[in-house]
Structure 1
Amino acid sequence: MDSLTTSSLAGSNILSADQFDLATIDLIFRYARRMPKIARRDVRNRILDGFVGGVFFFEESTRTRLSTELAFYRLGANVVSMIDPKFSSMVKGESYADAVAFYAMYCDIMVIRHPEEGRVAEAAAIADVPVINAGDGPGEHPTQGLLDLFTLHEACDQLRNVRLALAGDLLRGRTVHSLCKLLCLFDSIAVDLIAPDEFQLPDELVSQMRRAGLHVTVTSDFEAGVREADAIYMVRPQINREPVIDLSLLDYIQLTRAFLDDRCRADVKILHPMPRTGEIAIDVDTHPGAVYKKVRRSTAF
């Protein structure tokens, strides 16, 4: 993995999807295609042997935390973790800054999740080891964004001349924020942003996508927005975010197998960063385009 260890990523923080250019994305994807062999143990790679990965989550997580720890282990690293601040010295009054500085002493790289936007970047300014943003409130989730982009890239003809529908809580869904920034690196993409006004993508992100040359349509019409989509990316209502908005406004944004069969392209692909809360019905799991099932497996690669 010499190319990756000598790239601009080596030793760098990963805080925002804005950091990536197309050449770096291509490099990451080339290595991502090799990961299933390592996961299946067809090939052994101990590139992180002797290193310690730190996993520090100040907010709940299942897939991101477990896949991060598994990745460290499969590449030869050991792992130290703090997965609930209620069981840390912060309950005794320790400051966030002191906690981060202390955690950094015990690892070679830190993967941090925090419920407040900007706090992972704050940690990166304190720590003397690289920091990876595993989600900062309603801000970004660049590693999930990369996974979603990779899935779209492989499923939709390398994102050439595709139409994407992004639907749900686009305002506070951090995964879709990172994905939208990454989509700006590609040409010939049309994007339908489907949400009620109260949950629509932030204006600055819409502007960024349009400046990059993407054809962006902002709409609340779910049926019309997904009808011609090559892929549909669903975002759950962010019930764990403040302030609480009337989530019932999102009830009409729901995929069922009958809806897909009657009103969408036969070859449409369906993505979801998970967890889902009802916006994708269970019967969609058997749809041939339900690539979110593949993503579940890919997180372990």
Structure 2
Amino acid sequence: MTTTIDSFAGEDILSVNQFDRASLDAIFGIAHEMRVLVERFGGAEMLQGKILANLFYEPSTRTSSSFTAAMQRLGGQVIPINNVQYSSVSKGESLPDTIRTLESYADVIVIRHPEVGAAATAAYYAEKPVINAGDGVGEHPTQALLDLFTVQEELEKIGGLTVVMVGDLRYGRTVHSLTKLLLNYNVSFVFVSPDILRLPADVLDAVQTSGHSYRQVDDLHSVIGEADVLYMTRVQRERFTDLAEYDRVKDFFVADKELMAQAKEKMIIMHPLPRVGEISYALDDDPRAAYFRQMRNGMYIRMALLAALLGKA
């Protein structure tokens, strides 16, 4: 488990299980400094001469773009491979060979892949640091880090909060990673979903084993008044083999003005984005709507991680 900033240098970021309170505090401290740096000066040159390879086997807007922006704001450059069908992967090249090729040119590799464990496979074959940007329904550690950083920045604390997670808890890797990361803090959970989208057993077992308070319900209106953090997620069409089942649950929960009238004045609404109807656009001007600030925090967290992995934090 990584516990100091110096110990991040040269390491891979594959799972939230790598982080404890000390390492989270360290990364969040650097991310806050990166935020101040960008707001005052636009960036720095601490990663000048360094190159990041962005290898995305699945579509991405925010994660891919924010890693690119993070590297460039720190003076580095990026090799973007966001459509693998136009690379040698389309010719049948294996993941190990693709990784070994890219690390010949780059100092750090970011990978998103539809298969659980693909990032760990990439890290096994790579000598350069590898960052997991999402492996199927597995984990998305940098999203969880930026989510937790957003809670800290918005509410100025994490401990003692009630976190209400809503929507696709079965396939949502952002939910899986954030839940595990939150186990480092004294928080209470409310998991809101239809039966077929309940939290996976392994994640729920981790919550139970940790002794954290939790409930599973299917009525968001009954618990919205308790929420300090409302974490909405979309139902992921691409994870369903039965589209009739998807159509049945896709609009199960919607956050709108009527719902938020029952919520606390001091709380936040979060979403890993993209949204497809589960948060009304009418809420975008609500000061509690943190999802676009959350998105920007992704750049600061990824700046902090890149600097740390490359020994420049």
Q: Above 0.5 in TM-score?
A: yes
Amino acid corresponding to residue 185 of structure 1 in structure 2: N
Q: CA RMSD in A?
A: 1.7
2:92 counterpart residue number: 93
Describe the SS at the equivalent of 1:18.
helix
Q: Where does residue 255 of structure 1 map in the other structure?
A: 255
User: Deviation per CA, 1:59-92, whole angstroms, max 9, x where unpaired?
Assistant: 1000100100111111121111211111011222
Contact 1:38 1:74 in 2 (8 A): no
CA displacement 1:237-265 (0-9 Å, x = unmatched): 1112243461222423110112211x222
Bigger RCO of structures 1 and 2 (CA < 8 A, at least 6 apart) = 2
SS of the residue aligned with 2:260?
Answer: helix
Q: Superposition pairs for residues 167-178 of structure 1, below 5 Å?
A: 167-178=166-177
Question: Which structure 2 residue ranges, 5 or more long, are not aligned?
Answer: 301-313
Whether the 8 Å CA contact 1:231–1:269 is kept in 2: the answer is yes
Q: CA deviation at 1:97?
A: 2.2
Q: CA deviation at 1:18?
A: 0.7
Q: Which amino acid aligns with 1:71?
A: A
Q: Deviations over 1:123-163 (max 9, x none)?
A: 11111111000011111110010000011122234113111
Q: Any idea what SS the aligned residue of 2:14 has? A: coil
Aligned partner of 2:231 among 230, 233, 244: 233
Count, aligned residues: 296
The percent of aligned pairs where both chains have the same amino acid is 38
Alignment of 1:129-144 (within 5 A): 129-144=128-143
Contact 1:156 1:162 in 2 (8 A): no
User: For 2:84 and 2:42, how far apart are their aligned partners in 1?
Assistant: 37
Match of 1:83 in 2: 82
The one-letter amino acid paired with 2:204 is: V
Correspondence for 2:220 among 219, 222, 247: 222
Q: Distance in 1 between matches of 2:252 and 2:91?
A: 45
Question: After the TM superposition, which residues 220-299 of structure 1 pair with which residues of structure 2 at under 5 Å, given as runs?
Answer: 220-244=218-242, 246-247=245-246, 248-261=248-261, 263-299=262-298
SS of residue matched to 1:59: coil
Q: Which runs of 5+ in 1 are unaligned?
A: none
Structure 1 residue ranges (4+ consecutive) displaced by more than 6 angstroms after TM superposition: none
